[in-house]
Structure formats: C-alpha cells, structure tokens
A and B are shown apart, each in its own frame.
Chain A
C-alpha cells in the first residue's frame, strides 16, 4: 500500500483495539437503556397471560369505564368494560410480531437484491425494474384492498408491508454498493485475486450494514405505526388487541376518560422512541466514532496553547524579519484522544526551519508523523487532533491559535498544498475549471473572467495538453497524473511563498513521477517559493531537495544538507534507512540519484 496518509491516519484509531459489539452496546448508556426498555416491554408482552387478571377481549358491561387503579383493573377498563392493562400488554405482542415480520422480510428481500443489483451491472436493470414495481404499489391502499384475501389477519398484512418496505432497503444497499464499488480498494481487492463473492460479502457488506441496520430500526417503528394506523382506521380483526384499536376507542371516549387514550399512545410512543434510539446507538457502535460531526477548524489545547504563546514571546521575537526563516516550527506536539479520553501524542516536539525559496525534504516511514506535521502547518489537522503545544510561524506570524478566518487569508497566498492522492482531492461534482477558478478567486479576489484566464494559462503551464478541454472536464474524466497536475496548478495559482507537497508522486506511475518532480522543480525556481516535500523516498529527496529532515517516531532525528546527510548520516535511524536502500543496489554503478530513485520505487 502506498497510501501513506491513509495508513498514518487510520493507524491512530485502530490502536484502541476491538471491543465486541455487545460489550460496546452494554457500556453505552443510550443503547443499554433503549435496549433494556425494548427488552422489558417485549417481556411484559410475552408474560401477558400470566400477569393480567382478564383476557384482552373479555367484555364486562357492569364495570365499564372503571377509573385508574380499580380493584382487579390496575389501569381501569374501557367503554366495553375490557381490562386496559391486559389489552395494553397483549397489544405489545401484536406490535412485536408486526415489527419482526415486516423488517425480516424487508431486509431479506432488500439486501439480497440490493447487493446483487448494485454489484452486477448487467442484473441491475432487472432488479431496478422489479423494485420499481414493488414501490409502485400504493402501500396503504393495497393493504386495505387485500382485506378480502388476508382476512384481516395483521400477520399477513404486515408480511405484505415488509415486501413494500423492501425497496427502501434495496435502494440504500444498491446506492452504497455502487458507491463502494467505485472506491479504489475494491479494485485493489479484485486485482489481488479476491473472488467476486468474497468482495461482495466482506467489503460491500461491511460498508452497507450500518445504514441497513439503522433503517431496520426505523422500519420496525414505522411498521408498528402503520399497523396501529390500520387498526385505528378499523382495518383488521376486532379480536386482535392493538394500540391502534385502543387509541381509536380512547379517542372516541376522550371526554369521558382521557387516560384511556393516553395509555396506548404513551406506550406506542415509548416503543418507537426506544427503537430509534437503539438503532442510532447500534449504528454508532458498529461504525465507530465516524459519524460524529466536527466544526471546521483546528483544535488547540487552551492551556498548552497559552504556554506556547508565552514561550514564543520570550524566545522568538527578534526585531525585524532579517534572519528569521520563512517557516519556523518549534516544539510542535500533536495528540489524538484515546477512547478513554486521555491524549496520545503522535508528534513529540518537532522543530523545523525553511528559508525562503529553499526546498526541504521531510523524510520518514509511514506513521512517523510527517503528514501530521504538514497538516498542522496548514491548519487542517483532522477535527479530533489537538495541538498540545508549540509554535508555527510563517513569515514571522504565529499560526497556532489563529482563527479559521485568519488562517484562510494565509492559505493559498502564503502557504499552498499538494496532496498525495490526486483523485480524492478534487470535488467530484464540479468541473476542474470551476474548482480552479473558485480557488483563485478566494485567494486573490480577481474577477471570474480573469480567474478563468489564469486557470487556463496555469493548466497549460503544468503541462496539460488541452487546457480548455480539461478545464471543462469532471475529475473522473481525467487521469491520475493529469489530476495531480491540476492540483499543482491549483496550489501555485496565487504564487504562494511556501508549497507543502505531501508525497506528491507516490500515487502516480513511475514515468509520471519523474515528470511531476521536474515540474515541481521548475515551478520552485520560477516562482521562487520554498517547498516542504514530505516523502518516504530518498530518491525524490536527492533529486530536488537542498536540505533534509529525517523524522522518526514523531520527532526530527536529523537535519542537514542533503549531501552531508547522504554522505555521513549522523543518526542511527538515518543510517539504517540509507543502508536499507544502498544494500539492495550496491552492485550497481549508476549515479546515486537514479539508483536511489529506482530503489525508492521498488521499496513501495
């Protein structure tokens, strides 16, 4: 895997280990309370024959409308003298059966055909057709229409309703499958010889099960509501105790005894609430903390930030800009929260300096914290990351603790960024041109027309053969190498003083890699910008960097002139890295630059 950014990031949450799902659910108050409520309610329903004194349909005309807490009738009786407590508990069973029948059928039908239809393009036409047909049944009307055939039996009615719910599941699964299928890792799995069935079951299923489960919880709720609604309308057997029938009775008796209406409504509401809450908790437990929203902007530890500020005021405020490097990173500490809430440092006190118009290579293996450092300089760390302390100064200005609005003015014009994976870094729904124009206008404020001209000339400059065509193309219509050129064009669009390139060639073909490096070197000379090149490839460093910083375990272990470091590596780790490369290729007599590049390519 060459996806350094991804592995570096995913390595962090993976460290917390895997807890079994049921343990997570028990621990989480929302799921344990909601699940407990559902369990108790279902249990009450099951035990109904033993814990009620009267049958649900036993009519006793001598004791109609008994009030709450009457002898023998804990919740009183309705206008026919039926025991409300007993009717309530027996209604639970009706709802449980309703939910089980409908959701089982909906999920079974919907997910099987969703997987098949989503994955196999040729079969999709047929499944789409069939589910469009199912969907076309006017739901409630069909349920009512079929009364003569179902005989009013709610179980058959709800089985039919399950079939009608299945297009909802089908569409969720199919959409997810089509989306997941186009993700790169499925291609990777297929290329590495994993069979289609295994791809379906493992990759796709794990991607869709969350949405299906949450949908199932809602479907159980809606099936229960629909059943109640039908019973409220008077569809179905009068012998079946049901919340709907009770609500209808209570509604008609509202002025005599409002409690008769409130009991079934309350219980129906509680069941629905518990189902939805349980579904949400289950989703969170299955998909991890991923669906948590986050405000855009970088988190800075308030205490440490203040301490950092203090340090800056004493250490780094020399008069004038003479002798001050363009970028200076001091004692940068970045941490991620552990599951228990404590912080885990991943970058421990990094120090970096980049002079104007200088190219610095930041080298290190995956997980060494180099991408985290780069993101911190740009102020785009993932939302859960915390900058614990340190200082990042660009042109003498402190970036740590700066608001997103202020950072925005520096980004684009002062610092720009070239990502590793070109495709996922372009917005798929806008044309290449629209994205370039938006960036240029945001950074420079020129007119749309001027921005378009600038974008076209940039596209030509970065070596795109047909700028006008690429300008109007969507990201999925261009190649990876082209996309990387587009991203470079976007990054240099407003003449930044510092360009941060995070493994800019890793995801590209070897021939394209060399071209992109040439382009970067030319642009660096032409625009006189400083470049921070994040890479694990010594060949790339030797090719275009003047200085090098070696990163290991979240710290910079060695910094120096490229030739010095290559000739006489000081730190043990740097020696190990260099030896690992040189050993493989020591029999060759090629000039070092080419050798290193080949070795670097092979290492991946």
Chain B
C-alpha cells in the first residue's frame, strides 16, 4: 500500500510538471496582450518591447519555464505582475475563503446524500418517489439559478442575510456563517443530488445480491445488513462520485463566488486569468493539480480500504 501511494505521488509530481508546462506554453501565446494591457493606454510598440525584456518574456520559452521551476523548487512562486503580492501567500489567503464554502458544502451534501440514498433504496414506494423527486430537483436546477433566487428572497426581499461579501471566521463567526450560508446551500443541493443518486443506485444493486439473502437467513438484523454490509459495499462507487464532486465544487465556486462577490479562489483565478497575471496563474495551476492528485489518491485508497477485492495496489 505504501509503495502504491508513493508511486502515485511520484506520478502526481510528473503530472504537475507536465500540467504547469502546458499552462505556461498556452500562456505564452498571450504574453503580448498581457504586456499591453499592463501598460494600458500609454502602450507603444517600443514600450511593450521594453517591458517584455524587463519581464524576461523575450527569452526562449524553455529558459523562462526552467527559471520559474527552479524558483518554485526553492519555494518561491514569484509575485503578482499587477499587485506585487507574493503568489503563494495570495493563493492561500483566497483558499481559506473557498474552503470555508466548499468543505461545509461537501460535508452537508455527503451526509444528506447517504441518508437520502440509503432511505430511498431500502424503502420502496412513496419514500423512494419522494427522495427521487428531491434528487431530481437538485440535479436539474442550475446552481446559478438557485443562487440568484436565494439572494433575491433572503437577502434582497427579507434582508436576513447579506447579498454579497465575506466575513472571515476569525473576525466574527456569526457574520461568517451569514455570509456563507447561501453559497453553501447552493453548492450542497447539486452535490447532494449527484452523490445521492449514486448511493441509491449502488445500494439497490447490493441489496439484491446473494450474500444479502444469506445474511438474512442467519438472523442478522435488517439495519446491520443495510448499513454495515450493503452500504459499505456500495461506498466504493459513491466515493468516486464524491471525489469528482469535490473537484467540481471548486469549479462551481468560480461562478458562485462571482455572484456573491466572495474574495475566494474562484474569483481570484477568474480575475487573474482575465488580466493574464502569469505568476499567479502558474501558482494556481500548481495548486489545482496537486489538489486533484491528492483527492484522487485519497479516493482510491479509500475504495481499496472499503473493498479488499478492489484493491488496486
């Protein structure tokens, strides 16, 4: 298992290298426009050329990438081209905001998904119809619409919650809660629907298997059969969906943060990408890749832990 994890981490580091190079290469097409937008109205061909030299953009691509990589390996992610803010500090500052939305959303959606999925799968009839209805609504109403609807109702009309903005937890936990409750709700609805339908589907499959019948003939309580046996057997596929959902939430956070004006990872990425802040984008690429690799590794280890037969290591 350790060698599996180490191998995966090794592969992950190579992936990060490839990813960052591709990002850098793609960015190199827009160096010209980035420089001119940095200079603004005053840009002349001469001044653009001068700034390109000053920033080192005139050198061969591999040299520039090599220099960036060398610095990163020494813990230096550079500074923002526009704000002079150190990249690593800036990324982690924004990450806190996003995680304080994504993590609660993930916990809420997973818990409610397991409850909904198990409930629907183990009770036929009306209970299943109702939970399926809830899941469907969660699926087909785009998060963007839910977000705006909730803002209109709870922030604009009722005035119970702030429409936009973010208060750090350390400043005022009450205000923090108020500022994240709508974004968390929006993310949770979609996430719960996705995970719940997976849990329901695989629970139904498991409950029809031979071993469930044999367990019943041994006098084992129904609850134990559902929760200890069937749920654990169906947790593998659910974990795959869970890891996809976690990463998808970082994507959805981009839109959600824009709607709610949360100064998070998504907003930061969007703004940096629009203005072409190369060191920041590169830092974000490294972080995004590492996060994806970590989540996938944990999901695979989790699936193996849950189901000895599916151990890939």
A residues whose Cβ falls under 8 Å from a Cβ of B: 129, 132-133, 135-141, 144-149, 168, 171, 175, 178-179, 182, 218, 221, 225, 228-229, 232-233, 244, 247, 251, 254, 261, 265, 268-269, 272-277, 280, 290-297, 375, 378-380, 382-383, 404-405, 408-413, 415-417, 419, 421, 424-430, 435, 438-439, 442-443, 474, 476, 487, 490-491, 493-494
Contact = CB atoms under 8 A, between A and B. Distances in A.
Contacts of A141: 254, 269-270, 273, 281, 284-285, 288
A417 B148 contact: no
A419 B141 contact: no
Among B136, B214, B281, max chain A CB count under 10 A is at B214
B254 A140 contact: yes
Contacts of A438: 218, 220, 224, 228
Interface residue tally of chain B, by bracket?
35 or more
Contacts of B221: 408, 442
Interface in B201-225: 201, 203-205, 207-211, 213-222, 224-225
A296 B308 contact: no
Contacts of B38: none
B217 A221 contact: no
Contact of A133 (B15, B123, B273, B281): B15
Contact of B219 (A272, A412, A474): A412
Nearest to A145: B273
Interface string B263-290: 0001001100110000001001100110
27 contacts: A129-B15, A135-B296, A136-B292, A140-B270, A141-B288, A171-B244, A228-B144, A229-B254, A232-B144, A233-B254, A233-B255, A247-B148, A272-B142, A277-B136, A280-B136, A293-B128, A294-B208, A295-B122, A411-B217, A411-B218, A413-B219, A425-B213, A428-B307, A429-B233, A429-B307, A438-B224, A438-B228
Interface stretch (B26-34, B62-70, B93-101, B177-185): B26-34
Contacts of B209: 424
Contacts, number: 241
Nearest to B244: A168
B6 interface: no
Given A251-B148, A296-B222, A487-B214, A291 B204 contact: yes
Q: At the interface, is chain B mostly helix, strand, loop or mixed?
A: helix
Contacts of B244: 168, 171
B29 A149 contact: yes
Given A133-B18, A295-B122, A442 B219 contact: yes
Contact of B207 (A168, A274, A296, A416): A296
B23 interface: yes
B215 to A, nearest CB: 7
Nearest to B218: A439
A416 B124 contact: no
Contact of B217 (A132, A145, A275, A412): A412
B52 interface: no
Nearest to A444: B219
Contacts of B203: 293
B277 to A, nearest CB: 11
Contact of B308 (A247, A290, A474): A474
A411 to B, nearest CB: 4
Contacts of B139: 218, 221, 272, 276
A136 B144 contact: no
A435 B29 CA distance: 61
B115 to A, nearest CB: 15
B276 to A, nearest CB: 8
Contacts of B274: 144
Q: At the interface, is chain A mostly helix, strand, loop or mixed?
A: helix
B200 A136 contact: no
Contacts of B222: 296-297, 404-405, 408
B81 interface: no
Interface string B29-43: 110010000000000
Contact of A476 (B16, B213, B308): B308
Given A144-B270, A429-B306, A424 B204 contact: no
Interface in B229-255: 229, 232-233, 236-237, 240, 244, 247-248, 250-251, 254-255
B310 A138 contact: no
B103 interface: no
A378 B143 CA distance: 49
Interface of B: 11-12, 15-16, 18-19, 23, 26-27, 29-30, 33, 120-125, 128, 136, 139-145, 148, 152, 194, 200-201, 203-205, 207-211, 213-222, 224-226, 228-229, 232-233, 236-237, 240, 244, 247-248, 250-251, 254-255, 258, 266, 269-270, 273-274, 281, 284-285, 288-289, 292-293, 296, 306-310
Contacts of A228: 142, 144
Given A182-B309, A296-B207, A428-B308, A261 B148 contact: yes
B196 to A, nearest CB: 13
Contact of A268 (B11, B128, B142, B248): B142
Contacts of A171: 240, 244
B273 A144 contact: yes
A490 B218 contact: yes
B273 to A, nearest CB: 4
B261 to A, nearest CB: 13
A421 B210 CA distance: 9
A136 B15 contact: yes
B285 to A, nearest CB: 7
Contacts of A265: 145, 148
Among A140, A178, A244, max chain B CB count under 10 A is at A140
Nearest to A475: B309
B23 to A, nearest CB: 7
A439 B270 contact: no
Contact of A427 (B23, B205, B233): B233
Contacts of A296: 122, 207, 216, 222, 225-226
Given A141-B284, A145-B26, A133 B19 contact: yes
A274 B307 CA distance: 36
B145 A268 contact: yes
B19 A408 contact: no
Contacts of B251: 138-140
A416 B23 CA distance: 63
Among B211, B254, B284, max chain A CB count under 10 A is at B211
B211 A426 contact: yes
Contacts of B121: 293
A247 B211 CA distance: 52
Contact of A415 (B29, B217, B240, B247): B217
A359 B91 CA distance: 74
B26 A146 contact: yes
Contact of B11 (A132, A261, A375): A132
Given A140-B251, A175-B240, A425-B210, 5 more contacts: A136-B15, A272-B140, A296-B226, A412-B217, A443-B218
Contact of B289 (A136, A290, A375): A136
B192 to A, nearest CB: 14
A269 B33 contact: no
B216 to A, nearest CB: 5
Among A225, A275, A421, max chain B CB count under 10 A is at A225
A129 to B, nearest CB: 6
Nearest to B7: A125
B217 A442 contact: no
Contact of A148 (B15, B29, B200, B308): B29
Contact of A428 (B29, B226, B266, B309): B309
A294 B124 contact: yes
Contacts of B292: 132, 135-136, 138
Contacts of A294: 124, 207-208
A88 to B, nearest CB: 15
Nearest to B120: A293
